[in-house]
Structure 1
Amino acid sequence: APPMVKLRIVDVSPKPKDGNAVDASGEIPDESLLATVQLEEAVAARMPCIIRGLSLGPCVDTWPKPERFAEFVDCPVKVHVSRDADLDFVAKNFAYKTVSLAQLVQRASRSVQPEGEYFLCPEERYYLRALGGDSRSEPAQLARQFPQLAPELRLPDQLYPSERQFSSVLRVASAGLRLWLHYDVMDNLLCGVCGTKRVTLYPPYDAEYLYLVGDKSRVANPDNYDAAEFPDFAKATPFTGDLLPGDVLYIPAMWFHSVLNVTYTLSVNVFWKTLRDELYDLKDAYGNKEPVPIARLMQSLQSGLKTVTASGLPPEYCHVYGVQLANLIRERLCDGGAGSGQDQSAAE
């Protein structure tokens, strides 16, 4: 199995100047310009990294206190609730429930719920991925859904083109809960506000080892899986690191990632577009729908396969032509055919 790779940490902490501490104003100080360049190089190389030392604003001090959320008693949110520590989107081992944000913070910050204050069992775990006003078509925006919280978070928009921002998503998770392994089609920054997350990422070129169902892996826990059922998973190279309060994790599009909430956590992540606008599905509210040309190809392929299946061709025909189709797709897509040019960039 490939060795585990530690995520690179880009430290942009304010450095002492002339013997005096530099005030953390939220701007990256001159002393950290080299680190900023290093981050830009990481983005250009499509490599994840943890940015440490940015000022995310007063949220790092205020949000960890459950009483900060008392005013959200009339703010309903839809959450995942599970008896299991490993959320599995493929197996659907969770239920969707609605509580107020105030209730969610109280419950998620406890390891055991008192009698009468749980849905499934006293040890149940919670996960919130905030939604937009219309969850089917409107991306989540922290300032729109939670305007009282937004001023307390200083989004690190010096690190991405803010005019290309797609969404900003509040997340709340219980201690011990792990989110399924998946990818997103947009770049994003995961801003840790409260608690510690242990992140595991896999590069796009390891996709063939990850047992995909759509944009998700059948392997719910990369640290504890059935090697007999998923023998090729060990061939994938894991990149790991801990996201601490105030840290920002850069996750390039198409990098697979699983997140273990070591403690109760609050975080916000920001998605932004790196492809041309017309390549994105206009109805994508989550930032994970296939790019338009891929979606059209898949639809055509499904239709064609249905026609072939209904034709009654003998198995030997289907096998030979199936191999030819697989080779064609690998040659044109996986071996650099469609993606070898640089005309997909929004920067052009």
Structure 2
Amino acid sequence: MPAFRPLPASEEAPATHVRTRTPTVFRAAAATWPAVKDWSFPYLASLDPGLPVQLVAGNRETETTRFTTSTLGSYVGRLTRDAPPDDVISYLKEFDLLKKFPQLRADLRSSELFPSGTIRSSATWIGPSHARTGLHCDLLDNLAVQIMGTKRFYLAHPAAVKQAGMGSRKYDAWARLSLISAEELAAGQEHGDFFVADLEPGDVLYVPAYWWHEVVNLTPGVLLSGFFGPRTRVLSRWAWVQARESLHRAGLLGRGNCTCHDHRGSEAGRSPGGA
């Protein structure tokens, strides 16, 4: 059984620590946010019960990409009832909650976390127990805030997947994927940077760009990701991603093997990263 070391926690302000570019957890750094104290699944479901939502079925990072559809009220309203582990888990990933419901911004204190002068992009991951995002690394730094529930992150050094020869050719606009899980990657490794962190409501996790991570919900939960970076870095990365995305949409890159289309070719909106 691979040994994952507990990820160190920091007492620094996140905006100060990110300069070190080392992953860390900030315990209870967002515990006073109204979202952490007041949000509930019934409340989120009530915001627009009939809003159509697209759900990821299973682990699209290592399996065939599949989507299902539901409504916000139906999906979020049933999250307090855990699905059996052998069911295909449906996951509301990379959902732009704050764009759909801008009034929710008043319940956040995101400006407390980020260095000044950075460009930021946020998305939410809403799902049941056992919902999983396979091992991947993002192209931008991420400050992830656990709003509800408990989530486990497995992390591995940026060089770990390449050294194992397990990089995937599956296309994802804002991430790179692994062919194997975090536990498979760490198996048999006596040394190496392999960490684990369990996030409770109000905890904040810093994942630097290119650090590999796999994420699983231990309970039904809501996580808010905040991808960020200096303006020049983000804009240059965005231009590079858009160039590759044009090739992908033309069928010249990642055709039939991507995270943004299911087996019928239907398209899903993508935002930076995954959690």
TM-score band, normalised by shorter chain: 0.7 to 0.9
Instruction: State the identity as a percent.
Output: 27
The secondary structure found in structure 2 opposite 1:44 is helix
Structure with the bigger percentage of helix: 1
Q: 2:158 aligns with which of 191, 195, 204?
A: 204
Q: Does 1:129 align with 2:93?
A: yes
In structure 1, stretches of 5+ residues that fail to align are 12-34, 114-120, 132-139, 291-298, 300-348
Q: Counterparts of 1:213 and 1:233 in 2: how far apart (Å)? A: 20
- Maintained 8 Å contact 1:2/1:235: no
Q: Does 1:4 align with 2:1?
A: no
Q: CA shift at 1:81, angstroms? A: 2.3
Q: TM-score, normalised by structure 2?
A: 0.74
CA deviations 1:91-110 (Å, max 9, x no partner) are 21x52122222222123332
Q: CA shift at 1:162, angstroms? A: 5.2
Q: Hey, what does 1:276 align to over in structure 2?
A: 233
- Maintained 8 Å contact 1:58/1:153: yes
CA deviations 1:223-277 (Å, max 9, x no partner) are 3x4x8xx988776531111111000000101101101110001111111124535
Greater length-normalized contact order (CA 8 Å, ≥ 6 residues apart): 2
Larger-gyration structure (1/2):
1
CA deviations 1:191-227 (Å, max 9, x no partner) are 00111111111111223226111410111x323x4x8
Q: Does 1:108 align with 2:83?
A: no
Q: Counterparts of 2:165 and 2:73 in 1: how far apart (Å)? A: 37
Closer, same or farther in 2 for the Cα pair 1:171/1:210, shift >3 Å? farther
CA deviations 1:104-129 (Å, max 9, x no partner) are 2123332249xxxxxxx993422112
Q: Does 1:81 align with 2:49?
A: no
- Maintained 8 Å contact 2:143/2:227: yes
- Maintained 8 Å contact 1:3/1:237: no
Q: Which amino acid aligns with 1:151?
A: A
- Maintained 8 Å contact 1:108/1:126: no
- Maintained 8 Å contact 1:62/1:68: no
- Maintained 8 Å contact 1:174/1:265: yes
Closer, same or farther in 2 for the Cα pair 1:163/1:211, shift >3 Å? same
The secondary structure found in structure 2 opposite 1:279 is helix
| Count of residue pairs brought into register by the alignment | 238
1:160-175 equivalent positions in 2, closer than 5 A: 160-161=114-115, 163-175=117-129
Q: TM-score, normalised by structure 1?
A: 0.59
Q: CA shift at 1:69, angstroms? A: 2.2
The secondary structure found in structure 1 opposite 2:224 is strand
Closer, same or farther in 2 for the Cα pair 1:231/1:65, shift >3 Å? closer
Structure with the bigger percentage of strand: 2
Q: Hey, what does 2:141 align to over in structure 1?
A: 187
- Maintained 8 Å contact 1:199/1:258: yes
Q: Counterparts of 2:52 and 2:134 in 1: how far apart (Å)? A: 24
The secondary structure found in structure 2 opposite 1:105 is helix
In structure 2, stretches of 5+ residues that fail to align are 170-175, 245-251, 253-275
Q: Counterparts of 1:122 and 1:149 in 2: how far apart (Å)? A: 34
CA deviations 1:7-66 (Å, max 9, x no partner) are 11124xxxxxxxxxxxxxxxxxxxxxxx33xx5664222111111232452212332342
Q: Counterparts of 1:210 and 1:267 in 2: how far apart (Å)? A: 31
- Maintained 8 Å contact 1:202/1:237: yes
The secondary structure found in structure 2 opposite 1:130 is strand
1:148-163 equivalent positions in 2, closer than 5 A: 148-155=103-110, 157-161=111-115, 163=117
- Maintained 8 Å contact 1:73/1:102: yes
- Maintained 8 Å contact 1:165/1:270: no
Q: Does 1:222 align with 2:197?
A: no
Q: 1:52 aligns with which of 24, 27, 31?
A: 27
1:319-330 equivalent positions in 2, closer than 5 A: none
- Maintained 8 Å contact 2:15/2:114: no
1:227-246 equivalent positions in 2, closer than 5 A: 236-246=192-202
The secondary structure found in structure 1 opposite 2:75 is helix
Q: Counterparts of 2:131 and 2:42 in 1: how far apart (Å)? A: 19
Q: Which amino acid aligns with 2:202?
A: G
Q: Which amino acid aligns with 1:69?
A: A
The secondary structure found in structure 1 opposite 2:154 is strand
Closer, same or farther in 2 for the Cα pair 1:231/1:51, shift >3 Å? closer
Q: Does 1:97 align with 2:68?
A: yes
Q: Counterparts of 1:236 and 1:49 in 2: how far apart (Å)? A: 16
Q: Hey, what does 1:325 align to over in structure 2?
A: none
